[in-house]
DNA sequence: TAGTTGACACGAACGGCGTTCGCTAGTAGA
DNA sequence: TCTACTAGCGAACGCCGTTCGTGTCAACTA
């Protein structure tokens, strides 16, 4: 049985004049993928979608990128490459470090929910992520902290940055602009959910519904930074083994 | 065109005596899914696999579970339901809190890389997760910390627990038993990678390769706990607005 | 006991995904 | 101008989550 198909003609009728061969490249693919993540979110990113944006088929991408995981890694590296690295100054290493972390967070948040990809990636091995780790280590060491404290701390701290970036981006929709009212509506929904819980089982959550969903600018993020760096001073004299 | 198919007989030849109708239920599905995650990891969990384990088809599951996301949420709730909740004691709230967090971490790690599902789930709304949050809030309040400090801190802290559980589970393979040598091989691989980096670009990382990959028992996790709780005491007097 | 009915179970299929295979066509060198 | 090579690409494979329409069992009614 031959199925009837829409008639086609191998030649060209002038419409769609067989796209001139594009100079496909890693950079172009990464840039295109990043644009999709920025505007439509990480879930909208797939190989076909990237290829379509470039006017080609998904298969063509595999000549430049091993697989989707590698593409995600390249995306993250591209974003981590956008950082300004401070030269450690022992006098103000703490503010330098905090600024550097704020920068990382802003960078991530400005690219939709790309932070989700960073969260899965357990250990940073890309040049950009390694650069960031190197700078953080240098800053902590400039603060005179013991080697092992720095080693452990750099993990905890970057974890915090990525996780809060993820939380922030999930507050905002997948789309581009944050949309103030939309964020407020989301927060408000969570607040009224907490407030509506049975008070006999969740007395604390109900009573603290307001405090739990408070979202004034970057106060929440800054609190975590203070917490971590205050804890760090307390650990300054710690020795291991 | 009729395609030739392998001959079948609608009746039974005695083999495969048409499985007795199973009493499918939410609990049974969740339990089965959990077993799969435990033994084969989160990636191996899919609706067909669960159904197969229950001797049925994937479609049957959807009568009891809305979709895969709900199944994951139920899985997490099931795991968070296994916690022992301490009654807050103002004299030793700190150790109580730390013990409670250690318990959460052990619980997560004992179920493969289920923590990855917890990481994606941004805000806890399931009974089990809410119970855990309630207990943590009660413990922090028992410590006399300001309301807003507790509210922010409970977020940061549970984030830390889930994230380190994820890190730990990714060290161990997807399989059940941790396998000591396997973990050591993984860590060793990361260490030699760090050590092999160009020292002129990554002087800190190369010099600290040992410290960065040190993995002595739960020392790493405990360090983070100390860091957070020390920071918390430093924030004890903080006011907002 | 025989008939009816409604809830549960399920095979098959749909659309979308990452990835691969093998043909095609454009380009650079002889 | 011819040839060899390489990048590009359509089509297909296998897997996924999910849905649809049908089948089937068990309890209730008469």
Which pLDDT score is estimated for B9?
Answer: 27
Q: What is the mean pLDDT of residues B144-150?
A: 97
Q: Rounded mean pLDDT of chain A? A: 88
Which residues neighbour B175 within 8 Å (Cβ) at sequence distance 6 or greater?
B39, B40, B41
Which pLDDT score is estimated for A180?
Answer: 76
CA separation for the pair A232, A163 (Å, rounded): 19
Interface of A with B in 210-229 (CB under 8 A): 211-212, 214, 219-220, 223-224, 226-229
Which pLDDT score is estimated for A121?
Answer: 77
CA separation for the pair A190, B34 (Å, rounded): 28
Which pLDDT score is estimated for A17?
Answer: 34
Q: Which of A135, A42, A61, A54 is nearest to A96 (CA)?
A: A135
Q: Do B152 and A205 touch (CB under 8 A)?
A: no
Given its phi and psi angles, is residue A144 left (phi above 0), alpha (psi -120 to 50 degrees) or beta? left
For chain A, 241 residues long, the average pLDDT of each consecutive 10-residue run is 32 34 82 96 96 93 95 96 98 98 97 92 87 98 97 96 91 70 88 97 98 90 97 92 79
Q: Do A232 and B227 touch (CB under 8 A)?
A: yes
Q: How far is the CA of A20 from the C1' of C25 (A)?
A: 11
Q: How far is the CA of A182 from the C1' of C19 (A)?
A: 38
Judge contact between B228 and B160, C-beta under 8 A. Answer: yes
CA separation for the pair B77, B67 (Å, rounded): 15
Which CATH superfamily does the domain covering A179-235 fall into? Tetracycline Repressor, domain 2 (1.10.357.10)
| pLDDT tens digits, one per residue of B48-93 | 999 999 999 999 999 999 999 999 999 999 999 999 999 999 999 9
Out of A133, A204, A230, whose CB is closest to B235?
Answer: A230
Q: Which of A218, A219, A212 is nearest to A190 (CA)?
A: A212
CATH topology of domain B79-234: Tetracycline Repressor; domain 2 (1.10.357)
Both tokens of B130, joined, read 């809410």
Which pLDDT score is estimated for B5?
Answer: 30
On chain C, which bases lie within 7 A of the protein's CB atoms?
8-13, 16-22, 26-27
| pLDDT tens digits, one per residue of B12-25 | 333 333 334 457 89
CATH topology of domain A26-78: Arc Repressor Mutant, subunit A (1.10.10)
Rounded to the nearest 5 percent, the helix, strand and coil shares of chain B are: 60, 0, 40
Q: How far is the CA of B57 from the C1' of D23 (A)?
A: 14
| pLDDT tens digits, one per residue of B175-227 | 666 677 888 888 999 999 999 999 999 999 999 999 999 988 799 999 999 99
| pLDDT tens digits, one per residue of B160-183 | 999 999 989 988 876 666 677 888
Task: Name the band, by pLDDT with cuts 50, 70 and 90, for residue B2.
Answer: very low
CB distance from A236 to chain B under 8 Å? no
CA separation for the pair A213, A234 (Å, rounded): 29
Give φ, ψ of A8 to 5 degrees: -130, 160
Question: Which residues of chain B are within 8 Å of residue A226 when distances are taken between CB atoms?
Answer: 231, 234-235
Whether A20 sits with its Cβ under 7 A from any strand D atom: the answer reads: no
Out of A137, A204, A228, whose CB is closest to B231?
Answer: A228
Residues of chain B within CATH 1.10.357.10 domain(s) are: 79-234
Angle at B102 between CA B126 and CA B87, to 5 degrees: 70
Given its phi and psi angles, is residue A19 left (phi above 0), alpha (psi -120 to 50 degrees) or beta? beta
Q: How far is the CA of A31 from the C1' of C23 (A)?
A: 30
Q: How far is the CA of A17 from the C1' of C23 (A)?
A: 21
CA separation for the pair A107, A131 (Å, rounded): 15
Interface of A with B in 152-211 (CB under 8 A): 152-156, 159-160, 163-164, 166-167, 170, 190, 193, 197, 201-205, 208, 211
Q: Please say whether the dihedral angle defined by the alpha carbons of residues B7, B10, B15 and B18, taken in this order, is positive or negative.
A: positive
* CA of A43: nucleotide with nearest C1': C17
* CA of A19: nucleotide with nearest C1': D8
Residues of chain A within CATH 1.10.357.10 domain(s) are: 179-235
For A5-36, b/e burial (b = at least 16 CB within 10 A) is eeeeeeeeeeeeeeeeeeebeeeebbebbbeb
Q: Do A151 and B204 touch (CB under 8 A)?
A: no
Looking at chain A, the number of H-run helices and the number of E-run strands are: 12, 0
Judge contact between B22 and B55, C-beta under 8 A. Answer: yes
| pLDDT tens digits, one per residue of A158-203 | 999 999 999 898 888 766 666 778 888 989 999 999 999 999 999 9
Out of A148, A202, A234, whose CB is closest to B134?
Answer: A202
CA separation for the pair B97, B101 (Å, rounded): 6
Residues of chain B within CATH 1.10.10.60 domain(s) are: 26-78
SS3 A170: helix
Q: How far is the CA of B85 from the C1' of D14 (A)?
A: 46
Q: Do B230 and A234 touch (CB under 8 A)?
A: yes
Which pLDDT score is estimated for B20?
Answer: 41
* CA of A51: nucleotide with nearest C1': D9
CB distance from B130 to chain A under 8 Å? yes
Which pLDDT score is estimated for B190?
Answer: 94
CA separation for the pair B85, B80 (Å, rounded): 11
Question: Which residues of chain A are within 8 Å of residue B228 when distances are taken between CB atoms?
Answer: 227-228, 231
CA separation for the pair A156, B222 (Å, rounded): 11
Which residues neighbour A205 within 8 Å (Cβ) at sequence distance 6 or greater?
A194, A197, A212, B130, B133, B134, B137
Which pLDDT score is estimated for A215?
Answer: 83
Question: Which residues of chain A are within 8 Å of residue B165 when distances are taken between CB atoms?
Answer: none
Count how many Cα atoms sit within 13 Å of the Cα of residue A65 in the half-sphere of its side chain. Answer: 26
């Amino acid at each position: 049985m031959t199925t009837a198909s829409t008639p086609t003609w191998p030649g060209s009728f002038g419409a769609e004049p067989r796209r001139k061969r594009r100079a496909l490249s890693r950079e172009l693919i990464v840039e295109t993928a990043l644009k999709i993540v920025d505007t439509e979110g990480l879930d909208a990113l797939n190989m076909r979608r990237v290829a379509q944006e470039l006017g080609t088929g998904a298969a063509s991408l595999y000549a430049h990128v091993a697989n989707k995981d590698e593409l995600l890694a390249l995306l993250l590296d591209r974003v981590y490459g956008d950082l300004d690295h401070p030269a450690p100054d022992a006098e103000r290493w703490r503010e330098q470090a905090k600024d550097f972390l704020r920068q990382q967070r802003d960078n991530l948040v400005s690219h939709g929910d790309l932070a989700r990809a960073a969260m899965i990636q357990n250990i940073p091995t890309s040049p950009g992520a390694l650069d960031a780790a190197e700078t953080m280590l240098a800053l902590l060491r400039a603060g005179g902290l013991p080697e092992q404290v720095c080693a452990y701390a750099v993990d905890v701290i970057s974890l915090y940055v990525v996780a809060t970036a993820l939380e922030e981006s999930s507050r905002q929709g997948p789309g581009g602009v944050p949309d103030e009212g939309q964020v407020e509506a989301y927060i408000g929904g969570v607040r009224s959910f907490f407030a509506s819980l049975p008070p006999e089982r969740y007395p604390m959550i109900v009573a603290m519904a307001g405090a739990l969903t408070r979202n004034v600018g970057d106060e929440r993020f800054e609190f975590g930074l203070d917490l971590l760096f205050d804890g760090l001073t307390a650990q300054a004299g710690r020795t291991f083994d």
